[in-house]
């Protein structure tokens, strides 16, 4: 019978770097995607799910996503933006700092205008 103090525990030692070789550096972090861009993509994906019949309605999406129906409606309203504004938000055609400055609340105010021409005016005036 072995004494508990005599049990061997294998240890992993870090591999030594070969002399003369440069240290491996971590890959640079991917660029930060603005939150509004991620929400816009999510809204489009959710709308496609509803259109294909994968989910019955927004209420079911809200239950699956563990968010309130009101919050889901806020996200889904992003699909009401003018197509060219959606494209700018999604593909970063607008200045990235501009997107960072425009919070979700600001873009929700723009969505509240039903005419795309009004949305474009508000989008262009950086309100």
pLDDT 10s digits, 32-60? 888 899 999 999 999 999 999 999 999 99
What is the rounded CA–CA span in Å between residue 79 and residue 75? 8
What pLDDT does 116 receive? 96
Considering the entire predicted model, what is its pTM?
A: 0.70
Q: Which residues of the chain have pLDDT under 50?
A: 127
What pLDDT does 108 receive? 92
Cα–Cα distances in Å, from 8 out to 3, 4, 5, 13?
Answer: 11, 9, 8, 15
User: Percentage of the chain with pLDDT > 70?
Assistant: 73
- Asked whether 81 and 43 are in contact (CB, 8 A), the reply is no
What pLDDT does 104 receive? 86
What pLDDT does 127 receive? 46
What is the rounded CA–CA span in Å between residue 107 and residue 64? 25
């Amino acid at each position: 019978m072995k004494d508990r103090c005599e049990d061997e525990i294998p240890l992993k030692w870090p591999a030594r770097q070969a002399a003369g070789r440069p240290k491996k550096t971590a890959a640079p972090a991917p660029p930060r995607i603005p939150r509004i861009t991620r929400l816009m993509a999510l809204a489009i994906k959710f709308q496609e799910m509803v259109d294909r019949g994968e989910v019955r309605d927004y209420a079911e999406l809200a239950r699956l996503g563990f968010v309130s129906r009101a919050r889901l409606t806020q996200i889904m309203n992003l699909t009401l933006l003018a197509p060219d504004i959606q494209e700018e938000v999604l593909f970063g055609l607008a200045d990235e700092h501009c997107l960072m400055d425009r919070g979700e609340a600001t873009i929700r105010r723009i969505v509240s205008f039903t005419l795309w021409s009004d949305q474009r005016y508000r989008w262009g005036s950086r309100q």
